[in-house]
Structures are given as C-alpha cells and as structure tokens.
Amino acid sequence: MAGHGFHVHGPHDHELEHAAHSNDIFSSKIAVMTAIMATVGALLGYEGGATQNSAAMLKNSAAINKTEASNRWSHYQAKSSKQNLAELALLLPASDVKKYETEIERYKAEKDQIKKEAEAFEQRVVELEKASDEALHQHHRWAQAMTAVQIAISLAAIALLTKKKWLEYTSYSVAAAGLGIAALAWMHI
C-alpha cells in the first residue's frame, strides 16, 4: 500500500465492506443498521460533550460568584470595623459627637447595601451550582446512551461475523435502550 497510507481494519470492518457488495440480506441489513447506529452514536457523543462543557462553565461561574460574595463580605467587615471605631470615638472626651454619629449612620447604610449585594451573589451561587448539577446529570444520561449504542454496534459486528439472528435482535434491543436513555437526557430526566 505504498503511497496510500497505512490502514488498520478490524474483522467486522472487512465483513461490513463485503456485506455492502453482496446480495446477502442479513449482512446488508446489519451493515445499514451499524451505519445508522454509528451516526446516532456520533450525535449522542456531541450532546454528551456539550452538556459536560455546560456543567463546567456553570460551575466556573458559581466559583466566580462565590469569590464576589466573599469580597462583599470582606467589605462588609471593613465597614463594621470602621463603624465600631466611630462608636468608640463617641466615648472619647472632647470628641466631635455630631461627626461620629454621622459616620456611624453612613457605615450602617453602606453595610446594608453591601449585605444585600453579598446575599445576591450567594443566591446566584446556589442557582449556578444547581444548574451545573443538572447539566452534569444530563451529561451522564448522554454518556449512558452513547455507551449503549457502542455496545449495540459491537453486538451487530459479532452478529455479522457469526450470522446469529438472536445477536442481531439483541443489538437492536440495546440500541433501542440507548435511544430510550437519550430521550431521557433530551427531556432532562
């Protein structure tokens, strides 16, 4: 095969090629079904990868929001410390009471706003982590469906090599189970 590259074929590949050129109905039917299952498998693999990426992106967004919440709580603590210092300053003799009372009120108002922001980020973290878990569950369903289709293709190859009808029907049953699992993934179940 000089100049044409090196090709490795499994026994079932050789049988599929011969089945495509023969008048053997059994072999032709399995060859067509194997091609269909391989196509379906490719689509399931794509969906599995897409949902896995989605789960990772959602988890990443949750981590970013968690960091933002932490930053807000740190800011809240800093304002609390400043408020506490202003409250202590009120106790000092000859302090400017009006100035420190104004600062205390300002810090309270600022803390309320910062607290609302921190809590909003924390709520967003919960939502994003839930969405990530759901996407990961969906990914597992797509992966299970893909695995079933791959097993069905292997059973079809064995059926083709052994000419066993029961293996052909088992292959179709496993492929149908894979499609059922894919339907569950599509419906987010």
- Is the pLDDT at 1 greater than 50, yes or no? no
Q: How far apart are CA 128 and CA 179, in angstroms?
A: 29
- Is the pLDDT at 10 greater than 80, yes or no? no
The residue that leads in pLDDT, 74 or 27, is: 74
Instruction: Lowest mean pLDDT of 1-10, 48-57, 108-117, name the range.
Output: 1-10
pTM above 0.75, yes or no: no
- Token digits of residue 44: 């399931």
Q: What is the DSSP letter of 95?
A: -
Mean per-residue pLDDT, 164-177: 95
Mean per-residue pLDDT, 40-46: 94
Q: Are the C-beta atoms of 148 and 181 separated by less than 8 Å?
A: yes
Closest CA to 174 of 156, 141, 149, 154: 149
Closest CA to 146 of 33, 72, 40: 40
Q: How far is CA 143 from CA 136, 146, 179, in A?
A: 10, 5, 12
- Is the pLDDT at 17 greater than 90, yes or no? no
Q: In the chain, what is the greatest distance between 2 CA atoms, to the nearest angstrom? A: 108
How far is C-alpha 141 from the chain's CA centre?
A: 11
Kindly give the interhelix angle for 25-91 and 165-186, rounded to the nearest 10 degrees: 30
